[in-house]
């Protein structure tokens, strides 16, 4: 590495920011799944479908706009969002199944 | 839906929280990619490899612990993290290529 120390210091500083941001995202995701778990319980009790394509499409569109404004690739934001929603829907199905087995 | 209004109100309230959390995550991710873009520039200038398996493995382990503490599935956290890191590495490669073409 040329200019070894200054570059390494800058890299270490950027990585510390990335680690802080990742910690924040993990905690945000944990809180998001607490909310979707409550949604899953509510849907199971009221026998609502675990999947709501209209809501998911509206969410995706809103996030694409937000991502664009924040300088994040909207396609990437939508791809990640889809993975998170799929995980939440999988959890909803598991909650509904448990409820049918132990009403 | 039984008990129609209370359940719908609860659902709307939970969804508003989910939307707020998603907005926060989008902004966190935008900031994370600003940091990794700076890392990419720094690596390109100093001709460092775009990929750092040791750092990525340490990050993944740290996030798995954090996820477990926060009640988030560590496997899911690691899976998402890998997707985000892969996107950052792809961007690093693009920065290095641009730099070689226009030094």
Query: What's this model's pTM, rounded to 2 decimal places?
Result: 0.90
Rounded to whole angstroms, the Cα distance separating B59 from B17 reads: 28
Of the candidates B28, B34, B47, the beta carbon closest to that of A25 is on B28
- From the list A24, A36, A83, which residue is nearest B18 (CB)? A36
CA distance B82 to B79: 5
Give the mutation candidate from B23, B25, B47 for the A interface (greatest A CB count, under 10 A). B25
- Residue B69, token pair as written in the block: 């503490």
- Cβ contacts below 8 Å, chain A against chain B, sum to 140
Q: Residue B72 — very low, low, confident or very high, per pLDDT cuts 50/70/90?
A: very high
B76-86 confidence digits (pLDDT tens): 999 999 999 99
Q: Do B80 and A81 touch (CB under 8 A)?
A: no
Is pLDDT above 50 for B1?
no
B102 three-class SS? coil
The two tokens of residue A21 are 């941001």
The ipTM, to two decimals, is: 0.91
Nearest CA in chain A to B67: A26
């Amino acid at each position: 590495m040329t200019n070894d120390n200054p570059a390494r210091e800058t890299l270490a500083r950027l990585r510390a920011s990335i680690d802080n941001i990742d910690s924040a995202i993990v905690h945000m995701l944990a809180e998001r799944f607490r909310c979707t778990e409550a949604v899953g319980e509510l849907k199971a009790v009221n026998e609502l479908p675990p999947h709501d394509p209209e809501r998911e499409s509206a969410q995706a569109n809103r996030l694409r706009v937000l991502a664009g404004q924040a300088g994040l690739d909207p396609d990437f934001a939508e791809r990640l969002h889809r993975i998170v929603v799929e995980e939440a829907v999988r959890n909803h199905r598991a909650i509904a199944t448990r409820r049918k087995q132990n009403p």
